[in-house]
Amino acid sequence: MTAAPVLCLASESPRRRDLLWQIGVPHKVMAARVDERLLAGESADDYVARVALEKAMTVRNGGERLPVLGADTAVVLDGAVYGKPADRADALDMLGKLSGRTHQVLTAVALAAGRAVEVRVSASTVRLRDLTLAEREAYWRTGEPRDKAGAYAIQGLGAVFVESLSGSYSGVMGLPLAETAELLRTAGIACWQGRQA
């Protein structure tokens, strides 16, 4: 797709880029550097919504003229929020806690277009099978868990751990396409650009 961008993605995530290309939305990327730490007393829903919104607003307030899309994903188990692992030990611990359990994946998407700012949150439920320590160690060595919420990628090598999913597959990947398309539509941005026969 070589069309001029109609959107700015406030994320360097290759998964989010791929998902936008999948639905035919030409875009450019401008990463937003925001503090992604959970605030005291903040709910998981409020957390992902706040971070997604801060990403979009940071880029827009930096002078971007195109509509700006921000997103954030968190894994939630027993009320605890799991973002990207800090290191190997953190990743192995996360995967150990998720092993054989059902958890929630929350992904917020925020669109800042003109003076309007809208946020949607997608909630999905994922169950991982029992994972041995050797499997968790081997998975860490692939490099995949390093920048993934919950230390796994459903669309990558980590797919072998997933027993079931209820909700949005693209949301678990990091950009819920139904919610994203809804936001884009309200801002007058069409999907499937350049994809007509």
Active site residue 72: yes
Please tell me the total number of residues recorded for the chain in this structure. 197
Q: Are 176 and 163 in contact (CB under 8 A)?
A: no
CA distances for 5 relative to 8, 31, 32, 191, 192, angstroms: 7, 16, 18, 12, 13
Coil, helix or strand for 121?
strand
Degrees (nearest 5) of the Cα angle 14, 141, 99? 85
Q: Which residues contact 11 (CB under 8 A, 6 or more apart)?
A: 17, 29, 31, 32, 55, 69, 70, 71
Distance CA 60, CA 48 (A): 18
Distance CA 155, CA 195 (A): 24
Coil, helix or strand for 49?
helix
The one catalytic residue in 35, 45, 46, 72 is: 72
Active site residues: 72
